[in-house]
Structure 1
């Protein structure tokens, strides 16, 4: 039972590979990793995200009340201790981290990023590698796809290390739909005029990345009447094998609102999720 919300809440379908895109809440990756390991004793989750500062700032800005209230509880804290977060600053560092993942073996001294299996590997906001920074113009469509393919290859290797084990991959990328990359890297020696005034066209990464995953989830929201002071949020989940079958979609609907004032002061709690 895995979800991107505080429990009790709607749960995600069973999956081996899942991509989540769109404006999801900042605490979604935490809840996903937490609920994954909490229901699977002895497992761990590995979360790779490009920037520690951005990750923490987003969590602070959201102010998830459940994490504030329950994050320090013994059972929750114990489960969170089995979520390892790494901050590879470039795609090369992310690939290196993935290649170092191994299933832990008590008889051998640890020499790499050893994890228990089965487990969850979560790639978070990796479009930042290709949309931000001074080297963003050096990347191509293969840069993004190869990182995902590397993760899938790593998961297969981890699953083979222990008989009967199962490792899942989740890609969470809020800007995936807006990411377009060229197939070929533009030549720095050939001016645009020599190319007939046309540079290499860009292609939408999301169009191809869907083929790597069993499930695709898209977060959306719409404005509600002003007096409600909130948005209505949606998560539409589609199994890729079903193609364009809208009737088979799994849809979750909720609102994010500020909690009620606390009993002993006038300070309000953080954001809570109200399901519809």
Structure 2
């Protein structure tokens, strides 16, 4: 089953589409890609993210202990070879990439966008970063257009492999605070006041496109679970780094109120002559 954390951990519900917003941990997209590939020996997964340097820096800062120890070995290494990451730097590049990705069927649009096997998982990462500058292109309709294109792409892949529908997941930590004008202004410079007045929360509209939504939160107090010492002999000095929760709710296609809340603490371990690394400590989930 798919997960956002190293095992053992809670698993995601069965999903076809999922949008995750808020301050999630940096390694969540990587764990999703790997767990999907590990659970499906023939699966291929793709992630699209706007900035290679930012993506790498966040992973280095977290230094997920499980990834550090397992990413280059055995089944995990094999799963990694069936995942691919693209870095479209602008909204125009992202749109172009979504229009060109395709499974090989005697036609090659471009060698980098022609896939030998259709992915069974497409992940869009930090789309809101494309919309952080004032531009006539940064509208609600532009964001929704990206999602529509991604859904159309996964739907076009699915019929080729009956019973193995391609999934879409969006990770966007900036989505909660992102507000965009609904329509493109005729003259951006002259319409600033009207744009501000007509802005609306995009995340509410997006829920209509997805089966499930997940909301991450950071909590002020981070503590080790009862019985865990501040210093662990085999893992060096341990101190709570941050406490988070993730609320997962069904948006459509199921029972009202269906969902779960996970709580965990990210603990930083410091050992002599070693870079600090992070482990995940779990609390009981809430139904």
TM-score range, shorter chain: 0.7 to 0.9
Asked whether the 8 Å contact 2:222–2:243 carries over to 1, the reply is no
Asked whether the 8 Å contact 1:259–1:271 carries over to 2, the reply is yes
- Residues 54-203 of structure 1: matches in 2 within 5 Å? 54-104=54-104, 108=106, 110-112=108-110, 113=113, 114-117=115-118, 119-132=120-133, 136=135, 138-188=137-187, 191-192=190-191, 198-199=194-195, 201-203=198-200
Match of 2:277 in 1: 270
Offset at 1:137?
5.0
Figure out how many residues of one structure are paired with residues of the other and give that number. 265
Match of 1:53 in 2: 53
Counterpart secondary structure, 1:14: coil
Mapped partners of 1:24, 1:256: distance in 2: 11
Asked whether the 8 Å contact 1:258–1:268 carries over to 2, the reply is no
Offset at 1:57?
0.9
Offset at 1:124?
0.3
Offset at 1:3?
0.4
TM (norm. structure 1) is 0.87
Offset at 1:157?
0.7
Root mean square deviation of aligned Cα: 2.5
Q: Does 1:255 align with 2:265?
A: yes
Q: Does 1:224 align with 2:231?
A: no
Q: Which runs of 4+ in 1 moved over 4 A?
A: 109-112, 225-228, 242-246
Offset at 1:74?
2.1
CA separation of 1:189/1:177 partners in 2, compared to 1, >3 Å: closer, same or farther?
Answer: closer
Mapped partners of 1:2, 1:124: distance in 2: 17
Mapped partners of 2:86, 2:146: distance in 1: 15
Counterpart secondary structure, 2:252: helix
Mapped partners of 1:142, 1:189: distance in 2: 16
Mapped partners of 2:6, 2:91: distance in 1: 31
TM (norm. structure 2) is 0.84
Offset at 1:233?
1.2
Instruction: Provide Cα deviations, 1:115-163, integer angstroms capped at 9, x if missing partner.
Output: 524510000001000014xx54532111100000000011111112334
Structure 1 gaps, min length 5:
none
Mapped partners of 2:121, 2:279: distance in 1: 26
Mapped partners of 2:77, 2:188: distance in 1: 55
Asked whether the 8 Å contact 2:240–2:266 carries over to 1, the reply is no
Instruction: Provide Cα deviations, 1:84-120, integer angstroms capped at 9, x if missing partner.
Output: 0000112221122122222345xx4754421524510
Mapped partners of 1:187, 1:162: distance in 2: 45
